[in-house]
Copies of this chain bind each other. A is one copy, B any other.
Amino acid sequence: MKKVEPKTLTGFMELLPNEQILFNQMKEKIQKVYERYGFLPLDTPILEHSEVLLAKAGGETEKQIYRFTKGETDLSLRFDLTVPLAKYVAKNYGNLSFPFRRYQIGKVYRGEKAQKGRYREFYQCDIDIIGDETLSVVNDAELPCVIYDVFRELGFDNFTIHINNRKLLNGLFESLEQKENAVEILRIIDKIDKVGKTAVIEELKKLNIEEEKIEKIIEFITIDGTNDKKIEKLKEMKINNEQFNNGLEELEQVVKYMGLLGLPKVNFKIDLKIARGLDYYTGTVYETFLNDYRELGSVCSGGRYENLAEYYTDKKLPGVGISIGLTRLFYKLNELRIINANKKSIADILIIPMTENVEKAFKLCSELRKININTEIYLNDKKLKAKLKYADKLEIPYVIIVGDDEIENNVLKIKDMRSGEEEQTDFNSENIKKIIDK
């Protein structure tokens, strides 16, 4: 028979079992934290009407989207979890309680240019809080606590949540009559850490911005010190712009509440340069960096938006949300060996029957499962050596051999496959649990 090459699409992550175990552990940890904060689960379809998904989109999104027709229906694969959320909330408005707090962990699709570490199918792990008409700014302070708990749970200490408010940037540019240059200015100032102040000033000059305005911009983005100090300096700038002062007040509130909510001061800081795209966020914005691995870029981002679902409903639905791009995060952490996919088996114990009299081995197996020990029984007719090799290759931590002698004497040996050590016990599952729990 002519064979088809068993290949996976470029840009689609497909893991070996040991990597998948680790990936799932990370995913479950994130989910657990989201649930600990009381976020409700959602699971919307991966396919939607193109008209719905693209109600707002434009530019890059339209180019990257997987869109096709089946029969007469124009379909697209979702490219994020926010647009489906907007549709969902607009559709189910009457059946939801507000603030509506939901999490969704699922795959999204973007036909990006193939390159290392860029995926076309990837997991997003999102939470959002949606208000009906209004949503207190205190919510903006709670999300960084979720970020904090997530990354702690994932095993990190040294990370910083950067926080800013889009109204500051927008207000500043407005007050400097630079609204139409906003995109360019943001692009330039974003590089200041890399290229230095002088280079940034040179680039800004090319936009024909007056010198004193450039000074203001530089003054703004180079504000430093503690968070309190930064707030103080921002006030001292005396920018006469309503939006700016609104943003400043919000930022001050959010930072205050982040402290009150117990977020350690070393894990967050005001960063006046971050903007997170241009047309979406309207207030607080977040980025999160693993300080030892800055090359990863932001590992969790998000922010506040004025109106979630304006393309579908007249209801005003302000919200705030964050997203973790888990597939890329996993890839990077794994590549840099920050995480280690060293668990190769789901089973904790492998039982190897070495006699035709398999009843006791089977019974033990089902009793171990009953007390929630993941247990596998080797059911194939092989030599002991082959059976042990299987346990060894999968690195199943414990092996129990059940032969005629063991049955007759009611004595079992539990072999720790890492140390090679053996311990004796009987066929009682609780006794076995005690040994492996040690």
Binding site for B on A (CB under 8 A): 1, 3-9, 12-17, 20-21, 23-24, 35-49, 51-52, 55, 66, 68-71, 73, 75, 77, 86-88, 90-92, 95-99, 101-102, 107, 109, 111, 121, 131, 134-136, 138-139, 142, 145, 149, 257, 260-262, 309-314, 345-347, 350, 358-359, 362-363, 365-366, 369, 372-377, 379-381, 390, 393-394, 396
The residue of chain B having its C-beta at the shortest distance from the C-beta of A349 within the complex is: B38
A70 near B111: Cβ-Cβ < 8 Å: yes
Would A70 and B75 be within 8 Å (CB), given that A99-B380, A372-B36, A380-B134 are in contact? Answer: no
The residue of chain B having its C-beta at the shortest distance from the C-beta of A310 within the complex is: B1
A66 near B70: Cβ-Cβ < 8 Å: yes
CA distance A113 to B210 in the complex (A): 65
CA distance A150 to B311 in the complex (A): 43
Q: A15 contacts which chain B residues (CB < 8 A)?
A: 42-43
A102 near B36: Cβ-Cβ < 8 Å: no
Q: A121 contacts which chain B residues (CB < 8 A)?
A: 45-47
CA distance A142 to B107 in the complex (A): 32
Distance (Å) between the CB of A143 and the closest chain B CB?
11
The residue of chain B having its C-beta at the shortest distance from the C-beta of A36 within the complex is: B369
Copies per complex of this chain: 2
B312 near A5: Cβ-Cβ < 8 Å: yes
Question: Residue A9 contacts which of B13, B49, B145, B375 (CB distance < 8 angstroms)?
Answer: B49
B149 near A312: Cβ-Cβ < 8 Å: no
Q: A396 contacts which chain B residues (CB < 8 A)?
A: 38
A312 near B37: Cβ-Cβ < 8 Å: no
- 22 A–B contacts from the bound complex (CB under 8 Å): A6-B88, A6-B90, A7-B87, A8-B44, A8-B91, A20-B41, A21-B41, A24-B43, A35-B346, A37-B376, A38-B347, A38-B396, A39-B346, A40-B346, A66-B70, A98-B390, A101-B376, A139-B380, A145-B366, A261-B365, A262-B363, A262-B366
A41 near B17: Cβ-Cβ < 8 Å: yes
Q: A91 contacts which chain B residues (CB < 8 A)?
A: 6-8
B46 near A362: Cβ-Cβ < 8 Å: no
CA distance A149 to B366 in the complex (A): 10
B49 near A7: Cβ-Cβ < 8 Å: yes
Distance (Å) between the CB of A371 and the closest chain B CB?
10
Q: A311 contacts which chain B residues (CB < 8 A)?
A: 1, 3-4
Would A136 and B380 be within 8 Å (CB), given that A15-B43, A40-B346, A43-B15 are in contact? Answer: yes
CA distance A121 to B47 in the complex (A): 8
CA distance A99 to B350 in the complex (A): 13
B362 near A262: Cβ-Cβ < 8 Å: yes
CA distance A258 to B14 in the complex (A): 35
The residue of chain B having its C-beta at the shortest distance from the C-beta of A4 within the complex is: B55
Taking A12-B47, A35-B346 as known contacts, 5 extra A-B pairs with beta carbons closer than 8 A to each other, sorted by chain A number, are A3-B313, A16-B95, A38-B345, A38-B375, A149-B369
Question: Residue A131 contacts which of B3, B365, B372, B380 (CB distance < 8 angstroms)?
Answer: B380
Q: A88 contacts which chain B residues (CB < 8 A)?
A: 6, 14
9 closest residue pairs by CB, A with B: A38-B347, A38-B376, A68-B68, A6-B312, A12-B45, A6-B90, A17-B40, A138-B379, A6-B91
Q: A359 contacts which chain B residues (CB < 8 A)?
A: 260
CA distance A4 to B50 in the complex (A): 11
